């Protein structure tokens, strides 16, 4: 009834070995793979009851919270029954107990993670220049966070202690923008699940949570200035993110070095805005009379721009990141075409029949509003805004999403025009299929297009997207992870180190078991077991 060999074509060993999982995990490897790493066979031993971190440089709330958090992550959650049952034994390779890891933050803490944050760090465990010592060093608190995560990967439970090899790591990300998008409009996701997802992002060194807050189906974002938007546009009064919820998520992310990038997509994908803001959406007509349905935001109504100004003023106060995502994708013209007031407006502006131009008028005004808010925000837009020739600010980030292989041409064009870009085309994780499906994620490289070095520099990174049509709290974590881990390594690690998916598989298997052991429902990649999957 099932020929497993046919399914696991990607793994030549799957049919040959019997009574075993397809891929055997590594032990104590860091995911995503560090830029440089040296490991000896000698080892030190950590005893949870005596171990502590010592801050020897700068300090701040983010660092304090992180040290406390990692003690929990390292010692409480990840218990491997099997490894624990084989306690370490002092032998010739034993170098000593590591009771203290020094945390050396060289420069002052920053308060907020940002687009240019420095995430470089160094780890030295029993290194030649500091034998028997352990240190995590960085010029930035963000680097310390990344270093703590890597350090936690080195530990292997053994009896009542943990062993770790003498190790030196010098690490930094390949890309500065390493994102994950969740959609809370097709299905509401409780704040607890958003936080679980932020935990997992931090454990994979992703640094941008793109929050697609609202869409046609529902408006779960509570605005103080326009409370009717969620009152009339959410699924129910319980399916709403209050100002406190948003602040809670932003703070949770901040402590983990993760930016929160809110998206309010307009002028399309806005049906749920309609009930709470009369006049905002275009009335659609059938046989010269309004038919009760609504289209995109009405770009001819001046009141709408005032509304948008107030609305985004509030948004940019609640979300401290420099960038907001303004959407701009998939605008359907049929409703505009049906509406006589729109037709008249277009005639008056000499753009009769040119609906792309009408869209451009709207987008241009919106971008102008957002760029001139007191917070002077920058913005991301979906690729259509660029494709339609809208004039955008120089620091705009064009979000490329249309599917492979056209994205290479698109990225070439966007960067030729001098704009920054983020790639999602190959990382739509909501598209599921049967079998081992992550190789294609690992084999996609945002810089693999014909472009000059200057163009390559404009590629900020990429973003995995989990659209929510078929995803809610029941399957969010298992469907997103560890598939998003694959994207995370691709965006963090060196191109030369991420060329071969098969080579990554044993490390990915270890990382999956690690995350499962920490209490997250990350799904399996192939026939396998984890010590903690009981």
Active site residues: 330
Cross-strand bridge partners of residue 38: 168
User: Judged by CB, which is closer to its own copies: 62, or 513?
Assistant: 513
Q: Could you tell me the smallest distance in angstroms from the CB atom of residue 62 to its own copies?
A: 30
Cross-strand bridge partners of residue 182: 211, 466
User: Judged by CB, which is closer to its own copies: 257, or 327?
Assistant: 327
Omega before 482 cis (within 30°)? Answer: yes
Element holding 387 (H helix, E strand): helix 383-387
- The candidate with the shortest Cα–Cα distance to 113, out of 69, 143, 152, is 143
Coil vs helix vs strand at 183: strand
User: Judged by CB, which is closer to its own copies: 150, or 532?
Assistant: 532
Q: Could you tell me the smallest distance in angstroms from the CB atom of residue 221 to its own copies?
A: 13
Element holding 505 (H helix, E strand): helix 501-517
Q: Could you tell me the smallest distance in angstroms from the CB atom of residue 523 to its own copies?
A: 5
Q: Could you tell me the smallest distance in angstroms from the CB atom of residue 317 to its own copies?
A: 26
Element holding 86 (H helix, E strand): none
- Tally of CA atoms within 13 A in the half-sphere of 95 that contains its CB: 22
User: Judged by CB, which is closer to its own copies: 156, or 346?
Assistant: 156
d(CA 214, CA 65): 31
Q: Could you tell me the smallest distance in angstroms from the CB atom of residue 57 to its own copies?
A: 39
Q: Could you tell me the smallest distance in angstroms from the CB atom of residue 120 to its own copies?
A: 32
d(CA 456, CA 447): 6
Cβ(81)–Cβ(531) under 8 Å? yes
Check residue 523 and report its DSSP letter.
P
Residue partners of 160: CB distance under 8 A and separation at least 6? 47, 48, 84, 87
- Tally of CA atoms within 13 A in the half-sphere of 190 that contains its CB: 8
Cβ(204)–Cβ(485) under 8 Å? yes
User: Judged by CB, which is closer to its own copies: 150, or 424?
Assistant: 424
User: Judged by CB, which is closer to its own copies: 163, or 465?
Assistant: 465
Element holding 312 (H helix, E strand): helix 302-318
Question: CA torsion 278→281→287→288, rounded to 10°?
Answer: 70
User: Judged by CB, which is closer to its own copies: 267, or 327?
Assistant: 327
User: Judged by CB, which is closer to its own copies: 35, or 475?
Assistant: 475
- The candidate with the shortest Cα–Cα distance to 164, out of 119, 99, 67, is 99
Coil vs helix vs strand at 89: coil
Coil vs helix vs strand at 318: helix
DSSP code per residue over 23-48: S---SS--SSPPSEEEEEEEEEEE-T
Check residue 73 and report its DSSP letter.
I
User: Judged by CB, which is closer to its own copies: 107, or 432?
Assistant: 432
Cβ(388)–Cβ(356) under 8 Å? yes
d(CA 410, CA 408): 5
Q: Could you tell me the smallest distance in angstroms from the CB atom of residue 223 to its own copies?
A: 16
- The candidate with the shortest Cα–Cα distance to 530, out of 79, 37, 139, 31, is 79
Check residue 366 and report its DSSP letter.
H
d(CA 528, CA 513): 10
User: Judged by CB, which is closer to its own copies: 330, or 500?
Assistant: 330
Cβ(231)–Cβ(276) under 8 Å? yes
Q: Could you tell me the smallest distance in angstroms from the CB atom of residue 232 to its own copies?
A: 8
d(CA 461, CA 377): 20
d(CA 185, CA 206): 22
């Amino acid at each position: 009834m099932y020929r497993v060999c046919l399914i696991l074509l990607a793994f030549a060993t799957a049919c040959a070995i019997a009574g075993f999982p397809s891929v055997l995990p590594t032990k104590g490897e860091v995911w995503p793979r560090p830029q440089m790493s040296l490991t000896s066979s000698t080892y030190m031993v950590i005893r949870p009851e005596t171990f502590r971190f010592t801050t020897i440089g700068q300090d701040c709330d983010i660092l304090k919270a992180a040290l406390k958090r990692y003690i929990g992550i390292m010692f409480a959650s990840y218990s491997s029954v099997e490894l624990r049952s084989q306690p370490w034994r002092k032998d010739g390779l034993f170098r000593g107990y590591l009771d203290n890891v020094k945390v050396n933050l060289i420069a002052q803490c920053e308060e907020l993670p940002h687009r240019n944050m420095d995430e470089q760090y160094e780890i030295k465990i029993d290194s030649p220049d500091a034998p028997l010592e352990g240190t995590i060093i960085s010029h930035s608190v963000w680097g310390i966070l990344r270093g703590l995560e890597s350090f936690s990967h080195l530990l292997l439970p053994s009896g009542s202690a943990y062993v770790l090899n003498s190790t030196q790591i010098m690490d930094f990300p390949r890309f500065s923008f390493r994102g994950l998008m969740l959609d809370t409009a097709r299905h509401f996701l409780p704040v607890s699940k958003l936080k679980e997802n932020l935990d997992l992002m931090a454990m994979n060194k992703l640094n941008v949570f793109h929050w697609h807050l609202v869409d046609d189906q529902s408006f779960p974002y509570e605005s103080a200035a326009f409370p009717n938007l969620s009152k009339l546009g959410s699924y129910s009064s319980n399916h709403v993110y209050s100002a406190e919820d948003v602040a809670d998520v932003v703070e949770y992310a901040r402590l983990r070095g993760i930016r929160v990038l809110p998206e309010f997509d307009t002028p399309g994908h806005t049906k749920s805005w309609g009930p709470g803001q009369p006049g905002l959406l275009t009335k659609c007509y059938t046989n010269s009379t309004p038919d009760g349905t609504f289209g995109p935001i009405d770009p001819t109504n001046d009141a709408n721009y005032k509304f948008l100004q107030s609305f985004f003023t509030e948004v940019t106060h609640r979300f401290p990141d420099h960038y907001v995502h303004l959407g701009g994708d998939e605008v359907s013209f049929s409703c505009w075409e049906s509406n006589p007031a729109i037709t008249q407006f277009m005639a008056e502006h000499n753009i009769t029949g040119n609906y792309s131009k009408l869209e451009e008028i709207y987008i241009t005004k919106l971008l102008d509003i957002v760029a001139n808010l007191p917070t002077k925000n920058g913005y991301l837009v979906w690729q259509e805004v660029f494709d339609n020739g809208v004039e955008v600010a120089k620091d705009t980030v064009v979000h490329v999403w249309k599917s492979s292989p056209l994205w290479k041409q698109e990225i070439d064009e966007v960067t030729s025009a001098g704009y920054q870009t983020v790639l999602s085309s190959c990382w739509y994780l909501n598209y599921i299929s049967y079998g081992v499906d992550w190789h294609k994620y690992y084999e996609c490289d945002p810089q693999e297009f014909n472009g000059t070095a200057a163009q390559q520099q404009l590629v900020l990174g990429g973003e995995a997207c989990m659209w929510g049509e078929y995803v809610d709290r029941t399957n969010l974590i298992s469907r997103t992870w560890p598939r998003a881990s694959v994207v995370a390594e691709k965006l963090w690690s060196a191109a030369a180190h991420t060329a071969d998916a098969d080579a990554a598989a044993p490390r990915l298997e270890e990382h999956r078991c690690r995350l499962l052991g920490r209490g997250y429902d990350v799904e399996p990649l192939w026939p396998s077991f984890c010590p903690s999957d009981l």
